[in-house]
Amino acid sequence: MPTNEGFVAILKRNGMAQVVIQPVSAGIPGASNRVNRHVCHCATDGSTLTIDALNGVGAEVGDHVSVRRDSSGLTKNAAALLGIPLLGIIAGILLAVLCTDGFSSGMVGGMIALTACVIVGTTIGLLTFRRVSAVNLAVIEKVIEKSSKGGRFSSGNPFCSVDANRGCSSCGR
């Protein structure tokens, strides 16, 4: 399960919180040091990601938190977006073979059957993906440091950001 650290930016309704996550290492993940030497840190290390997470631990705005996302949803998403449409294609081919008597006659009916099955398979796959991915929300695992103890927001060391008026040297790294 992927775990990241971030800061609670906004508390939302229904036990949700908006968490700002900053990458823990500079550079492009998986790229060599030679490539990362030429990358502006504001494009990677200073960039941030904002996600909505379930706040079951009662974190408050400014708290440094650990956020976890269950990776089993990736398999479900892949099955919904690839597997179900593939089954639609296979069903369409089988139906086309039956309708056309082995592709010898009635090609128009076979093509209509194939197209209909592909469309139905894709639609069912997308609807399944929407339902499965909505359940796979990030969760705040624990509060690492309360904001009152001098976390990043209260210490005056804000996140770097890429802005039209700022360069890579503007955040002092």
Round to whole Å and give the CA distance between 44 and 56.
Answer: 30
Tell me whether strands 3-11 and 16-21 are parallel, antiparallel or unpaired. antiparallel
- The percent of residues in the chain predicted with pLDDT above 90, rounded, is 14
Q: Contact 117/88 with Cβ under 8 angstroms?
A: yes
Does residue 118 surpass a pLDDT of 50? Answer: yes
Which CATH number does the domain housing residue 55 bear? Answer: 2.40.50.140
80 and 113 part of one domain: yes
Residues 78 and 47 in one domain: no
| pTM: predicted TM-score of the whole model, two decimal places | 0.50
The pLDDT-based confidence of 110 (bands split at 50, 70, 90) is confident
* pLDDT, position 50: 84
The model's confidence at residue 13, banded by pLDDT at 50, 70 and 90, is: confident
What mean pLDDT comes out for the span 14-26? Answer: 78
Tell whether 166 is covered by a domain. Answer: no
* Tokens 């040297």, residue located: 169
Cβ neighbours of residue 31 under 8 Å, at least 6 residues apart? 39
Does one domain contain both 63 and 142? yes
Number of structural domains (the chain) is 2
* Boundaries of domain holding 57: 3-69+137-149
Quote the DSSP letter at residue 7. E
